[in-house]
């Protein structure tokens, strides 16, 4: 429902206040009146008004002085100045001081209606804009990065403090830990958030393609360059550029990149005009960059230029307490995208997920949940919906006995405790399998 | 106890048939019996020589001070050019959820705009203005529906565009106010 617009009328003439009061009240606005500027300012301390209609000539503080004071308290306030003695000078002065509009008394009823209608439209647009900005922030901040563990809380704190600066960042972590999401969160929390976030996967491009991708090219620079093309650095002007898999770039590109980072200027491939761009660099890698510097495969000067801040994302196996939260998030995400009612997960299935090693980290967990929702009954995710058989599960497996126990349990689960089929798969006879079940006290997990 | 009524008080000369037709539509729209009365005042008291118009605020206060037995709402009908200090002119005004309102047919007449006289159009416009101002006294605010009689109209074109009746939404609101009014009376 649209909010009720409130109007404050400030005029020393009672008849003017009454007239405007009656006029606006019939339009359904909330209306208050003040006979002088001092009273208006007192009212504004305790109440909020969307539109303030103020006479310019009042005893004591005049309308222009009041306008300046209102603007110092609330720069967004919509103040309309009214006067019976119109001069160009005062009109210009009022508008320069931030008045929304300036009208001469008496005005046509239609002018007044249009004036207020335009002001209410502006208020509605500003409100809508604020709400959308909030929604964008919520999307970036809350929905993408999930975790309640101490490691993740530390990460959130780091992201928040780094976002406030324009320093270069290297995000390190194993594949699938969410390095790009962290980069997006840094961008979304920074003052650059309303400008582009440009992502480049350096590992996927050859040296010449990467060069053209980053710096752009001029028409005819090489075979197939039919048009002028902006590079990613140019596109990221005022925003952030995310260079994924930075460790894969060639030594030539390392030199080029260093030069761009130092001067924030570059030339398009085949061009001769220097272009400048104000971007923030966020890099990601799953390699040991420092080790590469020691081995001489990554330039030391570039490493220090990029590594102003280093954020490390822990692998999923080091923060298993986040798994239930992540599982819930992915179930909701995929049930919503597949138009299915929200599913639940069996305790035994969740327990198994928490025991898994996750070499592919969160990406692997996400794929498992997506698959379980596709192949499952859509109501409840059970052990048999999870593709865990191929990997020897428990990362706490230390002895050969533990290994054997886990493997037999896994095969039994796979064949739904059909002893003959499980024995056949294990290439042992049924008696041996019964013996092992007794030895390890094995039981069906989902019972 | 007699039934509550709406009183239309005229100031100046109006054809009886013209007034009776207005009274009829008011009665249909608000479902209250309507009394027609003649008011006598010296309008000179409300004349502003600088603007050559009549002060609507003062006239409304005067009408509000009149009392008629069993009347729940009183509307003054005039044929003079009304203004309020902040605006160049008004067609009428009323106390929102109050007891009284005023309407003038002065600016509803085609001849004011150099057009040929049209008595039917004048009657239609007058009915709409009277119902509109009475609607305010029952607590109705301006309606966004352009054909509802409670739609704000600052030009004659707006008045001509709207119908003589309340829209469904305003009717529902009026019924709620009506119930409240009756409850108070009981």
Positive or negative, the Cα torsion across A185, A160, A133, A101?
negative
Percent of chain A with pLDDT over 90: 20
- What tokens appear for A22 in the block? 């009656």
Average pLDDT over residues B73-89: 93
The per-residue pLDDT for B6 is 95
Phi, psi of A170, deg, nearest 5? -110, 125
The predicted model gives A296-325 an average pLDDT of: 91
Distance CA A334, CA A344 (A): 12
d(CA B72, CA A346): 70
A55, A39 Cβ separation under 8 angstroms: no
pLDDT of residue A129: 84
Q: What is the pLDDT of residues A245-292, one digit of tens each?
A: 999 999 999 999 999 998 889 988 888 888 889 999 999 999 999 999
Cα–Cα distance list, A171 to A247, A281, A295, A308, B149 (Å):
12, 11, 21, 11, 65
Residue A224 in tokens = 């197939």
Residue among B85, B136, B154 whose CB faces A15 most closely: B85
The CA distance from A30 to A250, in Å, is 67
Q: Which residues of B touch A7 (CB under 8 A)?
A: none
| Spatial distance between the Cα atoms of A248 and A238, rounded to a whole number of angstroms | 26
pLDDT of residue B186: 27
| pLDDT over 80 (residue A392) | no
pLDDT value at A3 more than 80:
no
Least reliable range by pLDDT among A151-165, A220-234, A268-282: A220-234
List, for residues B45-69, the tens digit of each pLDDT value.
999 999 999 999 999 999 999 988 8
Is A106 an 8 Å CB contact of chain B? yes
**For the ranges B34-38, B54-58, B177-181, which has the lowest average pLDDT?**
B177-181
More confident residue, B81 or A217: B81
Nearest C-alpha neighbor of A13 from the set A73, A59, A77, A75? A59
Would you name the residues of B annotated as active-site residues? 133
Q: Indicate the pLDDT class of residue A52, thresholds 50, 70 and 90.
A: very high
Averaged pLDDT for residues A80-84: 86
Q: What is the predicted pLDDT for the residue at A355?
A: 84
B17 has pLDDT over 90: yes
A2 has a pLDDT exceeding 80? no
ipTM value, please give it. 0.76
pLDDT tier at A83 (50, 70, 90 boundaries)?
A: confident
CA distance B30 to chain A (A): 19
Ranges A133-142, A154-163, B65-74, B172-181: which has the least confidence? A133-142
SS3 label, residue A113 = helix
Token couple for B22: 């207005």
Kindly report the CA angle at A278 between A252 and A212, in degrees rounded to 5?
35
Which comes out higher in pLDDT, residue A105 or A9? A9
Give the C-alpha separation, B169 to A399, whole Å. 78
Section B177-186 average pLDDT: 45
Q: What is the DSSP string of A220-241?
A: TSSTT--S-EE-HHHHTTTSEE
A 53-82 residues with CB below 8 A of B? 82
- The pLDDT of residue A143 is 56
Using alpha carbons, list the distances in angstroms from residue A348 to A217, A351, B41. 56, 5, 91
CA–CA gap between residue A182 and residue A158 (Å, rounded) = 10
pLDDT at A329: 87
Which residues make Cβ contacts (< 8 Å) with residue B138, sequence separation at least 6? B30, B73, B97, B174, B177, B178, B181
**Do A230 and A270 touch, CB atoms closer than 8 A?**
no
> What is chain B's mean pLDDT, rounded?
90
> How close, in Å, is residue B87 to chain A by CA atoms?
5
Mark yes or no for CB contact A25/B141 under 8 Å. yes
Instruction: Closest CB to B85: pick one of A19, A26, A108.
Output: A19
A106 min Cα distance to partner chain B (Å): 5
- Per-residue pLDDT reduced to its tens digit, A118-151: 999 988 888 888 777 766 654 455 456 788 888 8
Higher pLDDT, A325 or A378: A325
**CB within 8 Å of chain B, chain A residues 2-21:** 13, 15-16, 18-20
> How does DSSP classify residue B155?
S
Beta bridge partners of B38: B10
A28's tokens: 């359904």
Most confident of A223-227, A301-305, A343-347: A301-305
| Contact criterion met (CB below 8 Å) for A185 and A323 | no
Question: Which of A297, A212, A296 lies closest to A250, judged by CA?
Answer: A297
Q: Are strands A169-172 and A197-201 parallel, antiparallel or unpaired?
A: unpaired
What is the spatial distance between Cα B97 and Cα B41, in angstroms, rounded to a whole number? 25
Q: What is the pLDDT of residue A75?
A: 79
Higher per-residue confidence, A341 vs A79: A79
Burial (CB count within 10 angstroms: exposed 0-12, middle 13-18, buried 19+), residue A335: middle
Q: Do A15 and B89 touch (CB under 8 A)?
A: no
pLDDT at B103 over 90: yes
Contact B78, B12 (CB under 8 A): yes
- Nearest Cα neighbor of A253 from A232, A236, A273 is A232
Query: What is the pLDDT averaged over residues A333-355?
Result: 86
Q: Which residue has the higher pLDDT, B180 or A114?
A: A114
Residues of B with Cβ-Cβ distance to A113 under 8 angstroms = 152, 154
Residue B121 has pLDDT above 90, yes or no: yes
For B90, which residue in chain A has the nearest alpha carbon?
A109
How high is the pLDDT of residue A140?
A: 54
Tally Cβ neighbours within 10 Å of residue A112: 23
> Up-side HSE of residue B92: CA atoms within 13 Å toward CB?
35
| Model confidence pLDDT, tens digit, residues A188-199 | 888 888 888 999
Q: Which of A136, A140, A176 is nearest to A156 (CA)?
A: A140
Q: Which residue has the higher pLDDT, A389 or A180?
A: A180
> What separation in angstroms does the CA of A175 have from each of A245, A279, A291?
10, 26, 18
For the ranges A211-220, A336-345, A387-396, which has the lowest average pLDDT?
A387-396
CA angle B77, B82, B85 (to 5 degrees): 140
Q: What does the alpha-carbon distance between residue A43 and residue A39 come to, in Å, rounded to a whole number?
A: 6
Cα distance between the two ends of chain A: 51
Q: How far apart are CA B56 and CA B107, in angstroms?
A: 14
* Contact (Cβ atoms closer than 8 angstroms) between residue A268 and residue A221: yes
- Residue A418, pLDDT > 90, answer no
Cβ contacts from A onto B, under 8 A: 63
Q: Which residue has the tokens 């059970």?
A: A382
Query: Span A89-94, mean pLDDT?
Result: 81
The per-residue pLDDT for range B132-172, each reduced to its tens digit, is 999 999 999 999 899 999 999 888 998 999 999 999 999 99
> Which tokens hold the place of A280?
């923030």
Picking from A249, A217, A222, the residue whose alpha carbon sits closest to that of residue A234 is A217
């Amino acid at each position: 429902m649209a909010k009720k617009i409130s109007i404050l009328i400030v005029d020393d003439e009672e008849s003017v206040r009454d007239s405007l009061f009656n006029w606006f009240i019939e339009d359904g606005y909330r209306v208050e009146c003040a006979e002088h500027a001092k009273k208006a300012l007192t009212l504004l301390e305790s109440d909020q008004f969307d539109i303030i209609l103020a006479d310019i000539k009042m005893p004591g503080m005049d309308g222009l002085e009041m306008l300046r004071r209102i603007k110092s308290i609330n720069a967004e306030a919509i103040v309309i100045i009214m006067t019976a003695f119109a001069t160009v000078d005062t009109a210009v002065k009022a508008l320069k001081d931030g008045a929304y509009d300036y009208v001469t008394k008496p005005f046509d009823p239609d002018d007044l209606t249009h004036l207020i209608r335009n002001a209410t439209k502006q208020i509605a647009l500003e409100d809508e804009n604020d709400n959308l900005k909030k929604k964008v922030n919520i999307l970036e901040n809350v929905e993408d990065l999930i975790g309640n563990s101490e490691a993740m809380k530390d990460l959130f704190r780091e992201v928040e403090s780094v976002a406030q600066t324009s320093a270069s960042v290297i995000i390190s972590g194993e594949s699938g830990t969410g390095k790009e999401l962290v980069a997006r969160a840094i961008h979304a929390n920074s003052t650059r958030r309303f400008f582009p976030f440009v992502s480049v996967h350096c590992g996927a491009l050859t040296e010449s393609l990467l060069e053209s991708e980053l710096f752009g090219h001029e028409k005819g620079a090489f075979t197939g360059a039919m048009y002028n093309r902006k590079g990613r650095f140019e596109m990221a002007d005022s925003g952030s550029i995310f260079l994924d898999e930075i460790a894969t770039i060639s030594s030539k590109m390392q030199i080029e990149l260093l030069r761009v980072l130092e001067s924030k200027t570059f030339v398009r491939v085949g061009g001769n005009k220097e272009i400048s761009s104000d971007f923030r660099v966020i890099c990601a890698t799953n390699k040991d960059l420092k080790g590469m510097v020691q081995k001489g495969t990554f330039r030391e000067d570039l490493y220090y230029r990029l590594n102003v801040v280093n954020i490390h994302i822990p692998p999923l196996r080091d923060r298993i307490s986040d798994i239930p939260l992540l599982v819930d998030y992915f179930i909701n995400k995929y049930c919503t995208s597949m138009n299915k009612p929200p599913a639940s997960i069996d305790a035994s299935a969740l327990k198994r997920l928490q025991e898994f090693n996750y070499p592919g980290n969160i990406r692997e967990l996400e794929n498992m949940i997506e698959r379980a929702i596709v192949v499952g009954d859509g109501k409840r995710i059970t052990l048999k919906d999870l593709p865990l058989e191929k990997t020897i599960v428990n990362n706490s497996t230390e002895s050969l006995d533990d290994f054997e126990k886990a493997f037999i349990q896994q095969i039994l689960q796979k064949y739904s405790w059909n002893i003959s089929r499980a024995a056949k798969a294990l290439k042992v006879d049924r008696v041996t399998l019964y013996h092992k079940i007794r030895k390890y006290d094995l039981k069906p997990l989902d019972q | 106890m007699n039934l509550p009524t709406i009183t239309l008080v005229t100031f100046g000369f109006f054809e009886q048939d013209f007034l009776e037709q207005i009274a009829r539509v008011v009665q249909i729209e608000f479902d209250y019996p309507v009394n027609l009365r003649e008011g006598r005042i010296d309008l000179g008291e409300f004349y502003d020589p600088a603007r050559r118009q009549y002060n609507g605020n003062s006239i409304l206060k005067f009408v509000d001070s009149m009392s008629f037995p069993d009347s729940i709402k009183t509307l003054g009908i005039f044929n003079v050019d009304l203004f309020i200090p902040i605006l160049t002119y008004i067609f009428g005004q009323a106390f929102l959820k109050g007891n009284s309102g005023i309407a003038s047919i002065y600016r509803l007449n085609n001849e004011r705009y150099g057009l040929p006289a049209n008595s039917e159009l004048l009657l239609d416009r007058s009915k709409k203005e009277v119902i509109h101002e009475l609607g305010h006294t029952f607590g109705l605010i301006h309606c966004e529906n352009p054909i509802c009689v409670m739609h704000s109209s600052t030009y004659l074109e707006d008045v001509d565009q709207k119908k003589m009746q309340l829209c469904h939404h305003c009717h529902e609101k009026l019924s709620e106010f009506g119930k409240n009014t009756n409850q108070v009376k009981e």
